[in-house]
Amino acid sequence: MERDRIEAARSFVLSSKYRKHVLKGLARATLATPTELAENTELQRSHLSRAISELREEGIVKLHAPEERTVGRYYGLTDFGEAAWEHLRTDIIHVEWQDADPTSETSCRFVETVTQLLGDKLRFVGMYDGASARLLYADDDARSEYTEQELTDGARELVFRRVNLDLNIPNKECWAQIYFFDPEALLIAQDPDRNLYSASFSPYQDVDISALLNTIESVVLQE
């Protein structure tokens, strides 16, 4: 029953660019007004407001304010809306993925620094610039463990991880964090231009995590 409902929601959302934008925007921002969802796009606020109303009727979006309020009407995803997003996100966010050498000054510094600090523990280095995800480095042994489709899926996950991290670190222009997924660790960092970098490494137990983060934040991202 739940699967049928999600499939129905999928068809409903994908049939409108405005509904897709609202769902994507609320997945990024948690709560937002129609005006905020319209910012930095060419979409009209009135169209987005109508899309929000349609998504409310389907139980995907809910209002987080009294109904009679005319300003500060913040909307967010319902539990069902969040479940629908998990099934829809690969349809809404498309990732262009490619192998590429680092070209910008920051990407070159990032690859050089993690290579020096992590040595043979380094497995993959990636970058996402808002339009495409690029594999900047891959250890030969690590790469042999994955198919091309699995590498593409990994690039897509880098994009989706950005969506989640935007919620956790809203007020820092440059940052670096490390997440642990035994037996690997994943370093993720953002530069002033909001380019996202990642480096996976294993094993991580004898890596000085604090020194690694400090070096990435102070030397690589802000130099």
Site of tokens 């091309």? 148
Report the C-alpha gap between 199 and 41 in whole angstroms. 31
Same domain, 132 and 160: yes
CATH of the domain at 6: 1.10.10.10
Last residue of a domain, one of 43, 68, 92: 92
Domain that includes residue 58, residue range: 2-92
The pLDDT assigned to 139 comes to 87
All residue ranges of the chain with pLDDT < 50 are 163, 167, 170
Report the C-alpha gap between 62 and 59 in whole angstroms. 7
What H or E segment, with its residue span, contains residue 9?
helix 2-14
Same domain, 80 and 159: no
- Nearest of 104, 99, 116 to residue 201 by alpha carbon: 116
Last residue of a domain, one of 70, 92, 114: 92
What H or E segment, with its residue span, contains residue 189?
strand 184-190
Contact (CB, 8 A) for 31 and 75: yes
Question: HSE on the CB side for 113, CA within 13 Å?
Answer: 23
Average pLDDT along the chain? 82
> pTM score, two decimals?
0.59
Question: To the nearest 10°, the Cα dihedral for 15, 17, 19, 25?
Answer: 140
Report the C-alpha gap between 146 and 19 in whole angstroms. 35
Contact (CB, 8 A) for 121 and 212: no
Running DSSP on this structure, what letter comes out for residue 144? T
The pLDDT assigned to 203 comes to 92
Same domain, 203 and 121: yes
Same domain, 123 and 205: yes
- Nearest of 164, 208, 162 to residue 185 by alpha carbon: 208
